[in-house]
RNA sequence: CGGGAUGUAGCGUAGCCCGGUAUCGCGCCACAUUUGGGAUGUGGAGGUCGUAGGUUCGAAUCCUGCCAUCCCGACCA
């Protein structure tokens, strides 16, 4: 198999595909738009899940599981929600197959469902239908539930991890007695996502709110984290929605308050998906392959022996086994690759491609000098270091790599937030520099729509820490009270 | 769903215009020599040419339908 990766400069899209395929993260399946996540890719997703799951539980949430299928009628109960998802739903209409007598398996038309089932594109409807039975009093609130699940959205055009017809995600669905409490929850989860993105994925994000055009179908307010990829395009990495009482009203979920009055329940929902894999790949990787931040790397350190003959290998292995024990004791995941079927150079290239943060090579020379050779993936710098105190050195190096990856991505991101003060400047920036463009906007959906049609750029978000500043909209010339972030996006 | 391209061994390909049962490289298997950046040699295995029809004595090649993938649009986490 050729391990050549297309360079980012030559063809960014092809580079991305090459990384996913050649680092063995995922591959296309026999089903259009659906991917097989391979062990190397799934291991990273599992680490993401573990970290996020703990974060959710530490903030009082519990996991549960709701059905894959949703009765069609549920969708029509919330008007804007159905409008948002109707065009991309997989629908189950029958429940049986039969042999047609010619050896073909066909749908048994007599086994038609009375009511079609929708394969969930998101679970608000089935969950709120369920919550109806769980909530009578303020004493039943809040409900703080998360589920890990797959969802299906019949996308026209798919890309591995970034947009697949079926994807894995978590969706939190909470119910509250007051709007304030629900908004607080919405914001809390946004900050958890941001914390995760920055401190684990090492991807800096802008925390903000969506413009009405970009809001989730059925939400009163959508908060998001927006990341910037190496080609200057933005990627929405997570969203947290304040749903108001929309779903409670649609599914008739009421509770009696302390004051004895009946009111509809307030809701939030929030989610991140396997798209985070795409963010991780595109934010850090280079032309040699994947670069995984140490805190999410399934293998943090790989050790490659360099030897001549069994005796040589035995000596190296005895040192490596002892080192491995110490590293594992410090919580470092280590792989000792003593395969005799591949040569060292092959292994070096392979682990580089797969993004293992630290590689240690040990040969006879090192045993004599009491050293090892350490190569870090993020900078590709190699150096010889003493065996003395190596375990502590590695732990610190992993931390440094994590920090360095974040700093590098942050520097790139900050360099690519540019202010535009006229529409001409705005258009020019999009074509020359890309990235986020900070510009005044008159606050109307019409203006946003026009800009989108003319430039393909959308408002990614209105940053939470935005300064209010009088200005004029770059498109309409009408007064504006603040700048918002525009970008072309995935 | 519109535009463009592609589909030949696990992967990448030649052959297609001009019809005669498939080329090369990587990978794979065996053995030997090797091992500090993707080893070398020798021998070997592997293909109903995406799929279904049609034309023809004969189809990878010509014609038609279908399927899939990639890129660019519209849609979206």
CB-CB contact of A264 with A249 (8 Å): yes
Q: What is the pLDDT of residue A103?
A: 65
Residue A381 CB lies within 7 Å of the nucleic strand B: no
DSSP labels, A235-255 = EEEEEEEEEETHHHHHTT-EE
Q: Which nucleotide is nearest to A21 (CA to C1')?
A: B11
Distance A16 CA to B62 C1' (A): 38
How deeply is A309 buried, as exposed, middle or buried, from its count of CB atoms within 10 A (0-12, 13-18, 19+)? exposed
From the Cβ of A315, is strand B under 7 Å away? Answer: no
pLDDT score recorded for residue A76:
87
pLDDT at residue number A1: 35
Superfamily of domain A417-487: C-terminal domain of ProRS (3.30.110.30)
In SS3 terms, A374-416 reads as EEECCCCCEEEEECCCHHHHHHHHHHHHHHHHHHHHHHHHHHC
Q: Which residue's C-alpha is at the least distance from the C1' of B39?
A: A343
A212 CB below 7 A from strand B atoms: no
Residues 406-435 of chain A: which lie with beta carbon within 7 Å of strand B? Answer: none
Shortest CA–C1' contact from A361: which nucleotide?
Answer: B36
Characterise A24 by phi-psi region: left (phi > 0), alpha (psi -120 to 50), beta (else).
Answer: left
> Going residue by residue through chain A (490 aa), what tens digit of pLDDT does each one get?
346 788 888 788 888 888 998 899 988 887 778 888 999 999 999 999 999 999 999 999 999 999 999 999 998 898 888 888 888 888 888 888 887 776 667 788 889 999 999 999 999 999 999 999 999 999 999 999 999 999 999 888 888 899 888 999 999 999 999 999 999 999 999 999 999 999 999 999 999 999 998 899 899 999 999 999 998 999 999 999 999 999 999 999 999 999 999 999 999 999 999 999 999 999 999 999 999 999 999 999 999 999 998 999 999 999 999 999 999 999 999 999 999 999 999 999 999 999 999 999 999 999 999 999 999 999 999 999 999 999 999 999 999 999 999 999 999 999 999 999 999 999 999 888 889 999 999 999 999 988 988 888 999 999 999 999 999 999 999 999 999 999 998 8
Best CATH choice for the domain A12-72+123-284 from the list 3.40.50.720, 3.30.930.10, 1.10.490.10, 1.50.10.10: 3.30.930.10
A366 touches strand B (CB under 7 A): yes
- Which residue is nearest to the C1' sugar atom of B38, using CA? A346
Instruction: Quickly list H helices, A224-377.
Output: 246-250, 275-284, 309-329, 344-354, 364-369
> For chain B, which bases have at least one atom within 7 A of a protein Cβ?
1-2, 10-12, 25-27, 34-39, 67-77
Let me know: does A212 contact A101? Beta carbons within 8 Å. no
Judge contact between A215 and A243, C-beta under 8 A: no
Which residues 138 to 157 of A reach strand B, CB within 7 A? 153, 155-157
Residue A102 in tokens: 């010619």
Nearest DNA or RNA nucleotide to A274 (CA to C1'): B77
Cα–chain-centroid distance for residue A470? Answer: 35
DSSP state of A133: T
Pairing of strands A91-94, A417-419: unpaired
Q: CA-to-CA distance for A244 and A219, rounded, in angstroms?
A: 7
Identify any residues that bridge with A263 across adjacent strands, giving them in sequence order.
Answer: A255
* Among candidate residues A427, A421, A414, the one with its CA nearest the CA of residue A470: A421
Q: How far is C-alpha A107 from the chain's CA centre?
A: 37
Q: Which nucleotide is nearest to A276 (CA to C1')?
A: B77
Q: Decide: helix, strand or coil at residue A370.
A: coil
Please check whether strand B approaches the CB of A450 to within 7 Å. no
Domain A299-397: top CATH class: alpha beta
CB A95 within 8 A of CB A111: yes
Among residues A208, A193, A183, the alpha carbon closest in space to that of A275 is found at A193
Going from N- to C-terminal start, the domains of chain A cover 12-72+123-284, 299-397, 417-487
Nucleotide nearest to A289 (CA to C1'): B38
Cα–Cα distance for residue pair A127/A15, rounded to 1 Å: 40
Which residue has the closest alpha carbon to B10 C1'? A1
Closest Cα to residue A22, out of A404, A290, A418, A406? A290
Distance A356 CA to B35 C1' (A): 22
pLDDT of residue A2: 40
- Give the orientation angle of helix A179-199 with respect to helix A39-58, to 10 degrees: 140
User: What single string gives the DSSP state of each residue in A221-232?
Assistant: EEEEEEEE-TTS
∠ CA A111-A114-A118, rounded to 5°:
95
Q: Is the CB of A273 within 7 Å of strand B? A: yes
Cis peptide before A142 (omega within 30 of 0): yes
ipTM at complex level: 0.86
């Amino acid at each position: 198999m050729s391990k050549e990766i297309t360079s980012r400069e030559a063809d960014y899209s092809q580079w991305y595909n090459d990384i996913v395929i050649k680092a063995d993260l995922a591959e296309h399946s026999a089903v259009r738009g659906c991917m097989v996540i391979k062990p190397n890719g799934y291991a990273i997703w599992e680490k993401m899940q573990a970290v996020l799951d703990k974060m959710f539980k530490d903030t009082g949430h519990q996991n549960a599981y709701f059905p894959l299928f949703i009765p069609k009628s549920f969708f029509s109960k919330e008007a804007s929600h159905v409008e948002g998802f109707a065009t991309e739903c997989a629908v189950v209409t029958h429940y049986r197959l039969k042999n047609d007598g010619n050896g073909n398996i066909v749908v048994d038309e007599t086994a038609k469902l009375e009511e079609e089932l929708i394969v969930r594109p998101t679970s608000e409807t089935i969950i709120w239908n369920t919550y109806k039975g769980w909530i009578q009093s303020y004493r039943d609130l809040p409900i703080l539930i998360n589920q890990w699940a797959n969802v299906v959205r019949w996308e026209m055009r798919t890309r591995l991890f970034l947009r697949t017809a079926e994807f894995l995600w978590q969706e939190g669905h909470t119910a509250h007695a007051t709007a304030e409490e629900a908004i607080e929850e919405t914001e809390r989860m946004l900050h958890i996502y941001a914390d995760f993105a920055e401190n684990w994925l090492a991807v800096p994000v802008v925390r903000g709110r969506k413009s009405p055009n970009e809001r989730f179908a059925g939400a009163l307010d959508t908060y998001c984290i927006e990341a910037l990829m190496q080609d200057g395009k933005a990627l929405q990495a997570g969203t947290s929605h304040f749903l108001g009482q929309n779903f409670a009203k649609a599914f008739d979920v009421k509770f009696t308050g302390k004051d004895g009055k009946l009111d509809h329940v307030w809701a939030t929902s929030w989610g991140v998906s396997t798209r985070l894999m795409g963010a991780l790949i595109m934010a850090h990787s280079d032309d040699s392959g994947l670069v995984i931040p140490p805190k999410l790397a399934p293998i943090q350190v790989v050790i490659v022996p360099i030897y001549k003959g069994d005796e040589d290998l035995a000596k190296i292995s005895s040192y490596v086994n002892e080192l491995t024990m110490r590293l594992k004791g410090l919580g470092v995941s280590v792989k000792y690759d003593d395969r005799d079927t591949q040569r060292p150079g092959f292994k070096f290239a392979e682990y580089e491609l797969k993004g293992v943060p630290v590689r240690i090579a040990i040969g006879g020379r090192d045993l004599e000098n009491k050293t090892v050779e350490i190569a870090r993936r993020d900078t590709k710098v190699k150096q010889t270091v003493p065996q003395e105190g190596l375990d502590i050195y590695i732990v610190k190096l992993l931390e440094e790599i994590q920090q360095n990856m974040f700093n590098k991505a942050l520097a790139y991101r900050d360099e690519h937030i540019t202010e535009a003060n006229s529409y001409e400047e705005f258009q020019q920036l999009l074509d020359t520099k890309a990235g986020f463009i900070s510009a005044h906007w008159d606050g109307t959906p019409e203006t946003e729509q026009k800009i989108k049609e003319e430039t393909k750029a959308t408002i990614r978000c209105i940053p939470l820490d935005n300064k209010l500043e009088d200005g004029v909209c770059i498109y309409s010339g009408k007064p504006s009270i603040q700048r918002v972030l525009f970008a072309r996006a995935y």
